[in-house]
Amino acid sequence: MKKIEINTSFTAFQYVEELPQDVQSLMKQAVEVRKNAYAPYSKFRVGAALLLDNGKIVLGSNQENAAYPSGLCAERVAIFHSNAIYPDARIVKMAISAASDTNPTLTPIPPCGGCRQSISEYEFKQNTPIEIYFMGESGEIYKSDSIKNLLPLTFDKNFL
């Protein structure tokens, strides 16, 4: 038997204003598009904004459905849409903001497992890391230099 240790690291920002200027803009767009979430069941709204290497910004918000699990998370809405309209572009940065209609979200809220896998797929596809910034409705923002910090043991096409 052997013990395997995996270490990850994040950068924490106290306020949106501490972020680099381009990321501030991206996060503000994630916060704004969060308002477009269709979340009548969970009352949990998420917005995502992607910066692509062609300079375009693609937005997404979560979309729920009474026929669970037919809905889709904000991160995947944005990722899939970006690939549909800009298939050759790489995702450089992603900003995510989440808020609940019923409870304050004052700590950084990371992507769910399904979104982590989707982000991993596109990071693998483009062969460059994606910077991921995530927060609640306010408070600290965490930055990950790659999905590998959030999903250190990735599953990709090499296993198939």
So which residues are the catalytic ones? 75
Contact predicate 20/28, CB 8 Å: no
- Record the tokens describing residue 7, joined without a space: 């270490």
Ligand-binding annotation for 5, yes or no, is no
How long is the chain? 160
Among residues 93, 111, 112, the alpha carbon closest in space to that of 49 is found at 93
Ligand-binding annotation for 21, yes or no, is no
Ligand-binding annotation for 29, yes or no, is no
Pairing of strands 131-135, 91-100: parallel
Ligand-binding annotation for 112, yes or no, is yes
Ligand-binding annotation for 115, yes or no, is yes
Query: In whole angstroms, what is the distance from residue 131 CA to residue 31 CA?
Result: 17
In our burial notation (b when 16+ CB lie closer than 10 A, e otherwise), range 24-59 reads bbbbbbbbebbeebebeeeebbbbbbbbbeeeebbb
Ligand-binding annotation for 117, yes or no, is no
Ligand-binding annotation for 84, yes or no, is no
Binding-site entries: 62-68, 73, 112, 115
Binding-site entries for Zn(2+): 73, 112, 115
Binding-site entries for substrate: 62-68
